[in-house]
Amino acid sequence: MTTAVEAPEKLVGAPVKRVEDARLITGAAKYLDDLTLPGMAHAAVLRSPYAHARITRIDTTKAAAQPGVIAVFTGKDFEHLSPLPCAWQAGGVTNLVNTPRALEIDRVTFTGAGVAVVVAEDRSAAEDALGLIEVDWEPLDVVVNAEEAAEEGAPQLHENAPGNIVMDWSCGDADATDRALGEADVVVRQRLVNQRLIPTPIEPRGAAATYEPSTGEYTVWMTSQAPHVMRLLMTAFVFGIPETKMRCISPQVGGAFGSKIYLYPEYVLMAALAAKVGRPVKWMETRRENYAATTHGRDHITYLEVGAKSDGTITALKAKTYANLGGILSTIAPGIPTTLYGRMLSGAYRIPNIHCQVLGVYTNTGMVDAYRGAGRPEATYVVERAVDLVARELGLDPPEVRRANFIQPDEFPYDPGILNGLEYDTGDYEKTLDRALEIVDYDGFRRKQEEARKQGRYLGIGLSSYVEICGVAPSAWIGVPGEGWGAGLWESANVRVHLTGKVVVTTGSQSHGQGHETTMSQVVADELGVALEDVTVEHSDTLGTPFGYGTYGSRSAAVGTMAVYRSVQRIKEKVRQLAAHMLEADVEDVAFEGGKAFVKGSPETAKTIQEIAGAAAVGYDLPEGMEPFLDDTAYYDPPNCTFPFGTHVAVVEVDAETGEVELERYVAVDDVGRVINPMIVDGQVHGGIAQGVAQAFWEVGIYDEEGQLQTSSLLDYAVPKADFFPPFEVDRTETPTHVNPLGVKGAGETGTIASTAAAVNAVIDALAPLGITHVDMPLTPERVWRAMRTAKSGGGEA
């Protein structure tokens, strides 16, 4: 008697330990700064000390004469290179685009802009010589606040952008929203500041380059989330050379959080320098440079109006947002506060009337672009604060207002009316709310809170029921005809099964901590029935991987991995065809399961994937017309985005005397669709919570009125430490999406998107007895103490 082919245990859905870790826990991983090339020189960049100034003279003579200095260059030396492109101009509007050059030539618009570069034998010599470059500056008037920069009479940054306006974008129906606000039982108005954040990956940025004059070929190593895009932008838009003349490599990348998506001046500069000095050149950012010259995130000022019926039904939401985009535009800056913010302002709710206007504004500050969550944390903050403001105004319980307005499971796919044609895919929002309230024991907490209030203690609980947009693609939607992205956002993969049965996957996605090598291997191992260790995933080098747009926006599961999945399906089909030939059977009669192909009903005749791969590779005996080898390249462009959701709950106590906030508990119930690796998803959620809570309580990037960055290092910018947090309590529901065959939605940013609003709502709830309805972030002891003092002396909002 024969037994059925035993199916190996499925890896998808299991907490498989990461294959990446062996090199990371032993110090063997090679990050950018670990790269040493024969004859390598080192570069250091002179940066503007002024936020807005003309350069009237630069003299590099003394610096160039220093021992160890090879050469010194200024912006004029790279005048022939075009400015860096802005690749995402907000859909439907004219963006007034001003972007960085390799080095600025005659004018700077933020402190930290590069104006000269020293190339020297070692890094110390390069840095020492910076101080000997003489620059005559003519300082100009400065404006750092987006709302002020948009006012009449403000200092003007760019001739082509009158009023400092980059773009004036809107979505929704203004008239209908105004009418609905007029007819609402209550209207709550609130000004909300979503402060500037500094991403702070623990590895700063860096780049190194070589140039081979005999072939005209550049090789550029860089800390990038998107090496293929870097090559495209540098060759086609800056250098004006064929992309085949440049190879871009992202080595091991030490965290990014969005800040390493973009093309930066230094990457262009290293390539140009390698050609100029005829040696490999490397530059590694210091932390202070990282704070001054790498992109920041958020920085919105929003005027919110929300209308509701007296039963808590929200009828209208109107937002006018000033989005600070900095002194010049980073690569995808205009798309963040528009597509990824304005279009998400319906949140998890049926809101029949929405209007959002976004003014993108130039100011004399560092560039602002996507930072983990990118637009969705800002949108979630507006929506979730709005819900709590309505609850407070009407004296209703915040969970009940959420329930009253949730989009219901049977309403999917749901068109919120402002997504420019996309629909929310699937959801069961109330389930995550119920589960979160159960874990936190909401009713029990309310009783405890009541008791504590009698003793003069301020306990609070805050909710955030979010929905976000992941797997950002459909090229036709995101691209120029739709949302204005200058290309498509499909992904690609190649899968090859070698003669020995070992599988090599190459992907255009780029892992910088997410564990793609593990999760993609899990999918491939399951589909082909091979062991996890028989799959190798290669990425991050334009030589040898197919084109990809890179990893950001929680898109590598729902888009990048789907390209891998599609490729594997086609390989499996070829496996069946070849197996049929080997088994002398009809293809229709052959099944492929658990790594074995067999005639249905006769598993004892099975050929293993290794045998079939070997047969395909040697090619001695193939069916007529079949090409040798199991090899397939797939391009995947999804039909829709995916929309993860969930409910987060923060529990805090505010010190009545000092205003200090203690985070007592944090509960997260997320639904990211089907989960490939729960261990990795939990890790993503944990990290996201920490970053989002940090915005609520601690982090803020501050420029003074002269445009000097006051939070210019880790001494002054409050990146949270291990003892800032309680243990996180993380749970999940699983509502698969139908957008892709694996049912996955994406999990990289949910924590950041949800947690900021939950944490702030908790503090405002704690302060309810004082009549406080809002305090702007970060909720430092000083701010909370001031709010309490103002409230006690008769004021309301701080």
Residue ranges that bind another protein, judged by CB under 8 A = 17-18, 20-31, 33-34, 124, 200-204, 252-257, 286-288, 512-515, 679-680, 682-684, 686-691, 713-715, 719, 721-723, 725, 727-728, 751
Is the previous residue joined to 413 through a cis bond, with omega within 30 degrees of 0? Answer: yes
d(CA 437, CA 460): 14
Smaller CB separation from another protein, 24 or 65: 24
3-state SS assignment for residue 685: helix
Smaller CB separation from another protein, 31 or 635: 31
502: which 2 tokens?
Answer: 């070992």
d(CA 349, CA 522): 35
What is the smallest separation between the CB atom of 201 and another protein, expressed in angstroms?
6
What is the smallest separation between the CB atom of 515 and another protein, expressed in angstroms?
7
Is 471:684 a contact under the CB 8 Å cutoff? Answer: no
One-letter identity of residue 555: R
Smaller CB separation from another protein, 231 or 512: 512
d(CA 677, CA 31): 25
With tokens 């090199």, the residue in question is 23
What is the smallest separation between the CB atom of 520 and another protein, expressed in angstroms?
16
What is the smallest separation between the CB atom of 649 and another protein, expressed in angstroms?
16
What is the smallest separation between the CB atom of 748 and another protein, expressed in angstroms?
10
Nearest residue to 767 via CA among 666, 667, 662, 659: 659
Backbone Cα Rg of the chain: 28
Smaller CB separation from another protein, 94 or 713: 713
What is the smallest separation between the CB atom of 75 and another protein, expressed in angstroms?
26
What is the smallest separation between the CB atom of 716 and another protein, expressed in angstroms?
9
Smaller CB separation from another protein, 617 or 694: 694
Is the torsion defined by CA of 454, 460, 461, 464 positive or negative?
A: positive
What is the smallest separation between the CB atom of 679 and another protein, expressed in angstroms?
5
Smaller CB separation from another protein, 29 or 140: 29
> For residue 707, which phi and psi values (nearest 5 degrees)?
80, 20
E-only strand ranges, 285-379:
297-308, 314-326, 353-362
One-letter identity of residue 433: L
The four Cα atoms 302, 308, 314, 317 give a dihedral, to 10 degrees, of -30
d(CA 454, CA 472): 49
3-state SS assignment for residue 626: coil
Smaller CB separation from another protein, 27 or 794: 27
d(CA 180, CA 315): 6
Alpha carbon separation from 484 to 23, 29, 362, 591 (Å, rounded): 40, 38, 19, 45
Smaller CB separation from another protein, 720 or 781: 720
What is the smallest separation between the CB atom of 248 and another protein, expressed in angstroms?
19
What is the smallest separation between the CB atom of 538 and another protein, expressed in angstroms?
18
With tokens 């405002």, the residue in question is 764
Q: What is the DSSP letter of 749?
A: S
Smaller CB separation from another protein, 23 or 792: 23
Smaller CB separation from another protein, 338 or 691: 691
Smaller CB separation from another protein, 90 or 256: 256
DSSP line for 689-715: HHHHHHHHHT----B-TT--BSS-STT
d(CA 734, CA 731): 10
Nearest residue to 752 via CA among 347, 453, 324, 381: 381
What is the smallest separation between the CB atom of 719 and another protein, expressed in angstroms?
5
Can you give the length of the chain in residues? 798
- Output helix, strand, coil percentages for the chain, rounded to the nearest 5: 30, 25, 45
Smaller CB separation from another protein, 338 or 712: 712
The alpha carbon of 390 is separated from its chain's Cα centroid by a whole number of angstroms, namely: 30
What is the smallest separation between the CB atom of 751 and another protein, expressed in angstroms?
8
What is the smallest separation between the CB atom of 724 and another protein, expressed in angstroms?
8
- For the sheet with 297-308, list strands across it: 165-172, 353-362, 314-326, 297-308, 186-197
Smaller CB separation from another protein, 18 or 581: 18
Helix (H) or strand (E) holding 275: helix 265-277
Is 496:503 a contact under the CB 8 Å cutoff? Answer: yes
What is the smallest separation between the CB atom of 401 and another protein, expressed in angstroms?
29
Residues 6+ apart with CB under 8 A from 451: none
d(CA 335, CA 557): 22
Alpha carbon separation from 695 to 199, 343, 488, 755, 784 (Å, rounded): 11, 22, 32, 9, 15
Smaller CB separation from another protein, 324 or 691: 691
Smaller CB separation from another protein, 18 or 376: 18
How many Cα neighbours within 13 Å face the side chain of 631? 9
What is the smallest separation between the CB atom of 213 and another protein, expressed in angstroms?
28
What is the smallest separation between the CB atom of 516 and another protein, expressed in angstroms?
12
Smaller CB separation from another protein, 339 or 514: 514
What is the smallest separation between the CB atom of 466 and another protein, expressed in angstroms?
17
Q: What is the DSSP letter of 673?
A: B
3-state SS assignment for residue 263: coil
DSSP line for 94-133: --------SS--SEESSTT-EEEEEEESSHHHHHHHHTT-
Smaller CB separation from another protein, 83 or 687: 687
What is the smallest separation between the CB atom of 115 and another protein, expressed in angstroms?
21
d(CA 111, CA 303): 29
